[in-house]
Structure 1
Amino acid sequence: MGAFEEQNAVHRRFDVAHAAPLLLDERGVVAAWTGDAGRLLGYGAAEAVGLAFAGLLVDTDAERFPELVGRCRSDGGWAGLLTARRRDGGALRVMARITPALEGGGPARCLVLLSETGGAPGWAMSRPVLEQMVAGSPVGIAVVDTDLRYVWSNEALTRFGGGSPDQRLGRRLRDVQPGLDAEGIEAQMRRVLASGEPVVGYEHLGRVRSAPRRETAHMMSFTRLDDDHGRPMGVYYTVADVTDRYRARCRLALLDRAGEQLGRTLDVTRTAQELAEVAVPAFADFVAVDLLDCVLRGAEASGPAETVPLRRAGQQSVHPEVPEAMVGVGEVASYLPDSPPVRALVSGRSWRKERLEPRDRRWATHLPVGREATFLQLGLHSVMIVPIRARGVTLGVATFFRRRRQEPFDEEDLDLAEDLVARAAVCMDNARRYTRERDAALVLQRNLLPHRLPELEAVEAAACYRPADELIGLGGDWYDLIPLSGARVALVVGEVPGHGIGAAAAMGRLRTAVRTLAALDLPPEEVLAHLDDLVSSTAWEEGMRPDAEGADAQAVGSCCVYVVYDPVDGRCSMAAAGHPAPALIGPDGAVTFVELPQGPTLGAGGPPFESVELDLVEGSTLALHTDGLLARGEQWAVDADRERLGRALGRRADSLEQRCRAVVEGLVPSRPHDDVALLMARTRRLGAHQVATWELAHDPAVVADARRTAVRQLAEWGLDELASTTELVVSELVTNAVRYTGGPIRLRLIRERSLVCEVFDAGATAPHLRHPRANDEGGRGLLLVSQFTQRWGTRFVPDGKILWAEQALTDAGP
């Protein structure tokens, strides 16, 4: 065999395209030169033959060339990168393969194959090398023809099931892997065959024959193979198992979804149901959440966990109507003493069982009729029970089930379940704590608000209160109806900023202060002025303390409107401290809003409070409300809000109570953003037969006449049983006016639900109750009045004062 036949044989053996061959003798001198070598390095054959090959290399490669020749002879060949020196002096990086050229009995020569690195597809990509690469690849590789039948596959594909490469030949994917979505995969192959565009990163989920009980994920890529004429020959595809990555991604997605959906409301039961809904169907087929009964009430367990009843708080199933549930939501979930749920509840440790057995019939006791099915009868085969714990407190247990068609829960699933439950537990505990605080605030506020409005002759009243949404918290809105002297009545509505127990406590203090100031019979503007001073002073004292977050400090910025109505003459006076003005509904149903000067909020400081007076027609209705009844919006929307309120107030109803509730229900959602209080009062007038007035001369002799006049009036009213006490009251009050004041005196008797005796005089000083000693001759008048009447007092008016005393009526008469 000649040198060049040998070279061509080697070339074919190594399958190196576009390589420049040359032959070296035993000394490393060029013995044969080719045109390809000349074109690559620029030397002619006459110049190159006879040169040492090391002289054609740069210095560093020339120095090590003898070593390379030695390795070639000892190892049977060498391949690597060299830098050759071109005839023009330039350096050229080449890929070189040196292999012995064997000749029988001849000298040991070497064949050198050179190819330029730039743009060369590779110098060692012979078929054996390629087969070694694809056969030993850890990635599954296969080639199918245009009919999608296997023509070649590597051993790595065997790990996915479906048989060895020989068993796959001539078969379709659906024949070797019936558990996969073969139609979807083959659709990708047909798409690649038709378009020539490769498909990369196609993810498929299914069960392969090598793991029939476990759902696996595969990442696949498809590339079309063409012949020398560009015609499709088939599809080359790769497949890798990405199940672990897929499951990790699913876990992260589940936890992200849990973070979005859990705890959206501060409601324990709703959060428990959200936990069940998040886990089904992505993680489990049926989930039950059982919480300690005390937790649902916002409390903590007061005894051993195994003795505290559990109640089903949430459940979810892949099947409609949740057929797996032994109990319904809200029902008591009773478990056997040594059952896994009780053990998990007591120990605080999770429990998992991959396969439920026939002896695991059921754990619950006292099952309703028709719900006695066992786990296996329900198709439940794998279970995990995770205790719900937050901040060291056990709240309940969450149970996760899977059915026959899913793989059993493993340790990774248990870790995920514990993470999921831990997130839900914090939300449940927050909701439990909020429920406890909200219930406490609600009880406090309801106890501080009037339990029922008093029945008065002056007005017919009704009130409606609606607390804020649970995410906002209970606020400090309040209302009151306060009887005053002289058959008058005070109507009050106010609002404390903030929410929670602090706001409720601040509201209670303000309401108490208003009732105390109302007992002094002060005008509305003076009541608000005293209230403003009280809030400012107490807030300042609270601010001097290091823990200045009390109810007094919270009362700063409170709003209030105070209205006084007199049923004798129909006069009404009112003042406001940063509060919406009352609405006035006429007897004909027309609605107007009082033009009331707005004073500053309480404790904020500012100009003095002003009041207005109105004459109300009998049957008019006053509507006092907090700003929660109006929609919150920009300033320009106030008129629109008033228009809506006016329409609601103008609608008639069978009773004032129904009218009041209809207004709130029509304007306020079931869970408003702010508390809402509405107080409605329909005014009445006292008739002439209920009021008697006499002008008296400033003379001591008039006292006897006043007594006789009063007794006659009582006889006309049928109140003879009060005659003796009334004589005493009239005598003492008129005598006090004659003795200590000058000017006119007026006596007035008012008969409503009580008998009121009033004496007006022009004096500017109030009498004081004295406690005389046994030998004192005077000072017993007011003491006797206080002991024989229900209550008494002094009320100042612009031109003097009024001393009054009130007696309860045992029978109001006709």
Structure 2
Amino acid sequence: MDIENVKNAYSAGASQGSTGVFGYGPSGRLYAFDCLAAAVVDNRGAVVGWTGTAEDLTGFRAEEVCGRPVRELVADLPDDLRGATEIPESGRVRMRHQCGVTIDVTFRTTRVEGSAEVLVLMAPTHHVADREQGAALLRALSAQNRITIALHDTDLTTVQTNATPDPLDGRPVQPGTRLSDVLCADDAENLEAVLRQVLETGVPVVRRTQQVSWRHNSARRHTLSLSAFRLEDARGRPTGVAALYIDSDDLRARRHLDLAREVAERVGGSLDVARTAQDLADVLVPAFGDLAAVDLAHSVFDGEEPSKRLNGGNMGNAALAPASAVWPAGIKRGQPIPPFTDHPLLRSFRHGETLVFSLHDFIAMVGDPQVVEYLVPKDAHSVMVAPLHARGLTLGAITAWRCGRSDPFTEDEADLMTQIASRGALAIDNARRYTREHRAAVALQQLLLPPATTDTPAAETASAYLPAGGGAEISGDWYDAIALPSLRLALVAGDVVGHGMPTSVTMGRLRAAIQTLADLELEPDELLTRIADLVQRLAAEAPPGDHDIVGGTCLYAVYDPVTQRCAIASAGHPPPVLVRPDGTAEVVGISPGPPLAVCGMPYETTMIDLEPGSVLALYTDGLVEQRDRDRDIDQGLRRLTDALAASCRPDRALDETGRALLADLTHQAPRDDATLLLARTRAVPAENTAHWEIPADLAAVSKAREWTTRQLTAWGLEDLLFTTELIVSELVTNAIRYGHAPAELRLIRHDVLVCEVTDSSSTQPRLRRARTTDEGGRGLFIIAQLAARWGCRHGQNRKTIWSEQLIKCPG
């Protein structure tokens, strides 16, 4: 508080009784008056009485104004007074001065009892305003319950005070008392000596610390902060002393309470360990110390429990405050803390005690000069160290330093630091536990997802994934690239409703189911139908009230590099985007079926042709629905299509393209997971495939073997002649005997040799072990022994039995 303002206020308030005013004479000399200017006006408005103070104010003598209308003394009559017949009770006018200038005055009137005459009191307006402001400031100061204000006269007797009755004594400080009536004799004498010096010299005292005891409780000492200044009348003569007494103990308690409240409000708002530690350090500076550091066990940063025996060697710095401070060169965020030698005080710290050290004691405890140089800031003279102890674990420590001219830490401040450390430790432990759970959830989700890139004969794929909230949340978005028989590739993108661990688990179950059904080589529409049935069962298994939130969307596509065709079906999922080799991009027109939670409605498969080098992009809606942007899916889809057209270049790695696209399209943390799967298609050259139509005649079996021998010889696969002839014989025989025309034999050469026989029968082949006396039934068993793998897939009104044999690399 500005002492000069207080002094002016008290000077104005102390002289209210005398009401001295200032006026300016012809020479501009400043005059002092002991009373207001006054005049008496009769019922006609003529001046009949004129005081000496009125003469000093205006320069006119009584004989010059008496008998004249008072209006003639007013230089500029306000509009509201021009037509008035009587002088108003109060107002503000400009009075003429004898020297020719005007004076802005404020007046009040009162009628003389038993007479028609009116008494007019006048004072310069600026003086009235000063006095009103001074009185308002005095009232405001007197209303402060944290500051005791006392006005003492020249004998140091209390004239006025805002002191309330002491709760232990109950007696108010009455006007007329002296300090010795309230304080112990010695303390009162010391305070009066200070006040007397102020009264005699006029030099104010500001924030002087005094130790005192009340008379009724002399055993308890209080620390008072005293500010005092001299009061003077209008002539500059001393009239007393104004004193402001602040109980430093009460002030300190209030500061401690405010600091504890601030810790409660500011610490714990984040579930990030480092951010929580920084909030804790920031709240201590400068309210508690000049510098603060928070050190935590290394395992706490990872969400794990700390070691039972903490020392500097397994701790690292988590936060420093203030960030602009010059810390020792070794202290950096994240840096390990040097280990301390064993010491009794250090053992006390491990048991949860807050320790206070002078600089000398701290250096003695540390012992190692290099560690001292690492830890001790410049100009530090006092340090307090408190353990961060929560739920039976010691997570780390808070260290607060005081430097320069600040007061050393006291033992009573250790209790406050213990409370702050306890609350801070609980917040840090909450963040640690959240980190552990979040890491476990993220790890689970990552384990449930496939590799980010794949390389198959059908296509190379690359995926990019951005979790919701910048990693703060986990969700149920997923992607997959599943290698199928006959060199085909299944591409999947899906999104499970909701967030959190249950959603990730549901995603994992759906992904496993799709992989299983994909291995059965179902058509895309049939596969989605079965997945929708599964989702219905999962919803039925969900707890009551959660049935309606189990669901999702899915897009399933199968690409055949031989025919260069792709079959696509959607269960409420956004359509894929196709980027052709010439750089043009378009949204694939499909007929989306209902989301997976809805059963009883069919799905439809869409067939498209893909040139080699085309890029098919599958994604989830988090990529086209952006926070704080237009949520129109069509606009987001246009933005994605344009970005794909600009980024998917043949000379650019696909995984690099995916990461760049995700970064460009999600400028900030999305509100939902964003997933992107890119597949650049390939084609099996025509010279690596061969087709032969199978006649409906068993004699065609030997012709099929001959045709196969010629084709394998042309391909240089003589080492597979014997086994392939046996496989072809069995498959063609079964097609002729049990199938229906038309039938076809196809060979595909890549890193494996694929042999396919297709017929129009829907009968499912079944592998069985034939008995010794059986004449047939050994065909599929022989194929299973000769091939690396075999299987059967069904299409519309047809089935295909296939086998794969590994091709040995030359040399």
- Whole-angstrom distance in 2 between the partners of 1:470 and 1:219: 55
The equivalent residue for 2:290 is 285
The equivalent residue for 2:639 is 644
Q: Tell me the alpha carbon deviations over residues 230-264 of structure 1, each in whole angstroms, 9 at most, x when there is no partner.
A: 99987964413053454344334434443444334
- Whole-angstrom distance in 1 between the partners of 2:585 and 2:370: 60
Q: Tell me the alpha carbon deviations over residues 416-467 of structure 1, each in whole angstroms, 9 at most, x when there is no partner.
A: 3223222322221122112212222222222222235432121121112233
Alignment of 1:626 onto 2:620: yes
Preserved CA contact (<8 Å) 1:265 1:471? no
The equivalent residue for 1:329 is 333
The 3 A distance-change label for structure 1 pair 456 and 137 is closer
The equivalent residue for 2:687 is 689
Gaps of at least 5 residues in structure 1 are 1-16, 18-126, 140-152, 181-205
Moved more, 687-696 or 645-654: 645-654
> 1:276 Cα shift?
1.2
Provide the TM-score with structure 1 as the length reference: 0.70
2:454 aligns to what SS in structure 1? coil
The 3 A distance-change label for structure 1 pair 733 and 334 is same
The 3 A distance-change label for structure 1 pair 267 and 477 is same
- Whole-angstrom distance in 1 between the partners of 2:499 and 2:369: 43
Preserved CA contact (<8 Å) 1:281 1:318? no
The equivalent residue for 1:475 is 475
- Whole-angstrom distance in 2 between the partners of 1:374 and 1:307: 11
The 3 A distance-change label for structure 1 pair 812 and 427 is farther
> 1:128 Cα shift?
10
- Whole-angstrom distance in 2 between the partners of 1:391 and 1:675: 34
- Whole-angstrom distance in 2 between the partners of 1:469 and 1:128: 69
Alignment of 1:615 onto 2:609: yes
Q: How does 1:205-354 map to 2 (within 5 A)?
A: 208=209, 237-301=242-306, 303-305=308-310, 309-317=314-322, 320-323=325-328, 326-339=330-343, 342-353=346-357
Preserved CA contact (<8 Å) 1:291 1:397? yes
> 1:705 Cα shift?
0.7
Q: How does 1:421-432 map to 2 (within 5 A)?
A: 421-432=421-432
Q: Which amino acid aligns with 2:424?
A: A
Preserved CA contact (<8 Å) 2:195 2:228? no
- Whole-angstrom distance in 1 between the partners of 2:257 and 2:743: 88
Q: Which amino acid aligns with 1:760?
A: T
- Whole-angstrom distance in 2 between the partners of 1:494 and 1:683: 21
Alignment of 1:168 onto 2:198: yes
> 1:349 Cα shift?
2.5
Preserved CA contact (<8 Å) 1:344 1:387? no
- Whole-angstrom distance in 1 between the partners of 2:556 and 2:508: 16
Preserved CA contact (<8 Å) 2:461 2:677? yes
> 1:344 Cα shift?
4.7
Q: Tell me the alpha carbon deviations over residues 496-546 of structure 1, each in whole angstroms, 9 at most, x when there is no partner.
A: 3344433332222211111001011111121111111112113313448xx
- Whole-angstrom distance in 2 between the partners of 1:339 and 1:462: 57
Preserved CA contact (<8 Å) 2:311 2:340? no
Q: Tell me the alpha carbon deviations over residues 88-119 of structure 1, each in whole angstroms, 9 at most, x when there is no partner.
A: xxxxxxxxxxxxxxxxxxxxxxxxxxxxxxxx
The 3 A distance-change label for structure 1 pair 495 and 424 is farther
Preserved CA contact (<8 Å) 1:217 1:243? yes
> 1:679 Cα shift?
0.7
Q: How does 1:284-683 map to 2 (within 5 A)?
A: 284-301=289-306, 303-305=308-310, 309-317=314-322, 320-323=325-328, 326-339=330-343, 342-353=346-357, 355-357=358-360, 360-361=363-364, 363=366, 367=370, 372=373, 375=376, 378-451=378-451, 453-469=453-469, 472-543=472-543, 556-605=550-599, 607-630=601-624, 631-632=626-627, 637-652=632-647, 653=649, 654-669=652-667, 671-683=669-681
2:680 aligns to what SS in structure 1? strand
- Whole-angstrom distance in 2 between the partners of 1:642 and 1:344: 63
1:386 aligns to what SS in structure 2? strand
Preserved CA contact (<8 Å) 1:335 1:365? no
> 1:579 Cα shift?
2.2
1:748 pairs with one of 746, 749, 753: 746
1:134 pairs with one of 152, 155, 159: 159
- Whole-angstrom distance in 2 between the partners of 1:340 and 1:644: 67
Q: How does 1:132-211 map to 2 (within 5 A)?
A: 132-134=157-159, 163-174=193-204, 177=205, 180=206, 208=209
1:360 aligns to what SS in structure 2? helix
2:468 aligns to what SS in structure 1? coil
User: Highest CA radius of gyration, 1 or 2?
Assistant: 1
The equivalent residue for 1:106 is none
Moved more, 294-303 or 616-625: 294-303
Q: Which amino acid aligns with 1:343?
A: R
> 1:557 Cα shift?
1.7
The 3 A distance-change label for structure 1 pair 641 and 501 is same
Alignment of 1:717 onto 2:711: no
2:506 aligns to what SS in structure 1? helix
The 3 A distance-change label for structure 1 pair 619 and 419 is same
Q: Which amino acid aligns with 1:761?
A: D
Preserved CA contact (<8 Å) 1:467 1:675? yes
Q: Which amino acid aligns with 1:532?
A: A
2:632 aligns to what SS in structure 1? helix
> 1:744 Cα shift?
1.5
Q: Tell me the alpha carbon deviations over residues 49-93 of structure 1, each in whole angstroms, 9 at most, x when there is no partner.
A: xxxxxxxxxxxxxxxxxxxxxxxxxxxxxxxxxxxxxxxxxxxxx
Q: Which amino acid aligns with 2:504?
A: A
Q: How does 1:84-123 map to 2 (within 5 A)?
A: none
Q: How does 1:765-780 map to 2 (within 5 A)?
A: 765-780=763-778
> 1:753 Cα shift?
2.9
